[in-house]
Structure 1
Amino acid sequence: MAPGIAIRLLTPADAEALVSAAPGVFDHEVDPALAAEFLSDPRHHMATAFDGPTVVGMASAVHYVHPDKPAEMWVNEVGVAPTHEGRGLGRAMLRALFERARALGCREAWVCTERDNRAARRMYAAVGGAEQEMVYVTFALDDERTLA
């Protein structure tokens, strides 16, 4: 990993740091209220890469429990600023999330990505991921057909 980069898991006190993340880390502008809400939920986890005071990478996940399965960690997304890509930050942040997941008793972690996202698929394979065949279905909750 790149020298001078610190990987750490965020706490609710860190919400403000996300607001000034480097461009490209998040898909959209960070909403301070949503950042605080995410980090205050004990089942939500975020590993970050800091270059000095600036967040240059993040990986978010949810500690998922269900009545008939062992706990799992669902990795929602991984983002790295274009200025810091190719330095191993994504792998390092995933490993930090996996360590947290093990400490929480999770037996498995999983993530979904697009088939044509070769960079993400290489990164997931580099940290031991095994691809599974699945179908990804979304529901537009503002569509009348979904609610009928």
Structure 2
Amino acid sequence: MDTPYEIRRATTAAELTAAQHLFDGPARQEWAARFLAAPGHLMLIAYVGAEAAGFVSGIEMLHPDKGTEMCLYELAVAERHRRRGIGRALAAALAAVARARGCYDMWVGVDTDNDPALATYRSAGARDEGRFAMLTWPFE
């Protein structure tokens, strides 16, 4: 049986820190406030009752010759709420926000062996663009 859920945009640092059990690590109040204050940054949270069951974060990226695209930065669903369509709904909700904001597309980087993530994004309408390499500059 599907669990009813509601997706809402986070507008306060308190909402972000209350959802930190879904993040890779603990949220910091000052970073949460900075995230929300930054233009083009947004987080949608799926609630089952009062519980934050999942989230998706997005960041608009703007370039002078391309316009604006949305980067799906991160998506997570609490283990006990997985396989109920929440991840797909969060990705689709972010895509709807991106369209409403005039973005020309939305993209996400995914490890090629992350089958659950690939299935979630494909079920939400994403298509595979082929191989992707990500290189980083760690500033430690």
Normalised TM-score (structure 2): 0.91
The within-5 A match list for 1:54-133 is 54-132=51-129, 133=131
CA distance in 2, matches of 1:2, 1:17: 24
Q: % of aligned pairs identical?
A: 36
Is the CA contact (8 Å cut-off) linking 2:61 and 2:71 kept in structure 1? yes
CA RMSD of aligned residues (A): 1.6
Higher Cα Rg: structure 1 or 2?
Answer: 1
Deviation string, structure 1 residues 3-25 (Cα, Å, up to 9, x no partner): 431111222xx3202222273x1
Where does structure 2 lack aligned partners over 5 or more consecutive residues? none
Is the CA contact (8 Å cut-off) linking 1:74 and 1:110 kept in structure 2? yes
CA distance in 1, matches of 2:20, 2:34: 21
Where does structure 1 lack aligned partners over 5 or more consecutive residues? 143-148
Normalised TM-score (structure 1): 0.87
The aligned residue for residue 7 of structure 1 is 7
User: How many residues are aligned here?
Assistant: 139
Give yes or no for the alignment of 1:52 onto 2:49. yes
In the TM superposition, structure 1's runs of 4+ consecutive aligned residues that sit over 6 Å from their partners are none
CA distance in 1, matches of 2:132, 2:40: 25
Deviation string, structure 1 residues 52-109 (Cα, Å, up to 9, x no partner): 2221111001011001102100011101111111111111111111111111110100
How big is the shift at 1:141? Answer: 1.9
